[in-house]
Structure 1
């Protein structure tokens, strides 16, 4: 006969709204689970963000990284554009204006790239019915091509190839980190 203490217990936490605030003799109002709750079992089995979460994640990361890089580049340009005889206040104003303008431009551009990538990756996953490396590579290829399509077919093809290679390298790097870096 198995030892009852060795059985896996359900991990729950007790919900007590008055804990630490009032001395009310109610000890247990609800037992709430500590693990994530899902409506369908398929959601629990999936180890992937939904398309809406992907959209927010890629767009937000793209905008934030573009804004930081653009602000740094613009600030350096503002520093180098200083003329002899400028006051400290004028130099600081030039650096802040240049950093803000370039940061907004880079942030918006990379945010749009993230938005297109997230949409194409989710679309590829729906279309192909599988979640694998090829979806990300095709989404990167399509993102680069769509982003540079207005500049002509040659520019779109080059940007698509760069986007596909970048997405493939990112996914391969993620897999290598998962496999070789202990967490």
Structure 2
């Protein structure tokens, strides 16, 4: 008994063919076209109405941005400390080596620290949003407060309280600045 197998490139009711160069009259064989699903991205309409990143996207964004910003700031600080460590009689090759070593060391250290702060912040913010089902200014303030407290918890209660207050104020200032920027800078 022969089984009629349809080709992978025929149109299916659950997929559509995507041609990335359809407006450019480029001859492409059908085997190189992409089959994209026609089903909606979200299962429930309530999920599609939320204009928010998922917790995984949030985690990746804050951790990656924190690591990048910390690495750049640390490398910049390392350049200055490398220049300060010059001694009389150093050759140009030795001076460049000192700058590269100190900027690499400081960049890694600062990048890891700020990346961890972003990781903790994203986790706490996603947890608060999951519990309260609201994403407002207070969510960011609570996440900043918790991040500062958790990040400095190993240094004692007083240090955790001060860092938590600083984190809450910093997160509130960033959110308020973002709202002001949205209102007055039309981009």
TM-score by length of 2: 0.80
2:69 to 65, 70, 78: 65
Deviation digits for residues 119-171 of structure 1 (CA, Å, limit 9, x no counterpart): 00011111122111111100000000100011111111110000000000000
User: Residue 82 of structure 1: SS of its match in structure 2?
Assistant: coil
Deviation digits for residues 90-145 of structure 1 (CA, Å, limit 9, x no counterpart): 01000000000000000000000000000000111111221111111000000001
The CA RMSD over aligned residues, in Å, is 2.5
2:84 to 80, 83, 93: 80
CA distance in 2, matches of 1:129, 1:22: 47
Give the structure 1 partner of residue 145 of structure 2: 141
User: Structure 1: 5+ residue runs without aligned partners?
Assistant: 1-13
User: Residue 135 of structure 2: SS of its match in structure 1?
Assistant: coil
Distance change >3 Å, CA 23–CA 97, structure 1 → 2: closer
CA distance in 2, matches of 1:31, 1:79: 55
Give the structure 2 partner of residue 21 of structure 1: 27
Give the structure 2 partner of residue 166 of structure 1: 170
Give the structure 2 partner of residue 92 of structure 1: 96
User: Residue 71 of structure 2: SS of its match in structure 1?
Assistant: helix
Give the structure 2 partner of residue 112 of structure 1: 116
- Contact kept? 1:121, 1:136, Cα under 8 Å: yes
CA distance in 1, matches of 2:91, 2:170: 44
CA distance in 1, matches of 2:29, 2:144: 59
User: Residue 78 of structure 2: SS of its match in structure 1?
Assistant: helix
2:136 to 132, 135, 158: 132
User: Structure 2: 5+ residue runs without aligned partners?
Assistant: 1-16
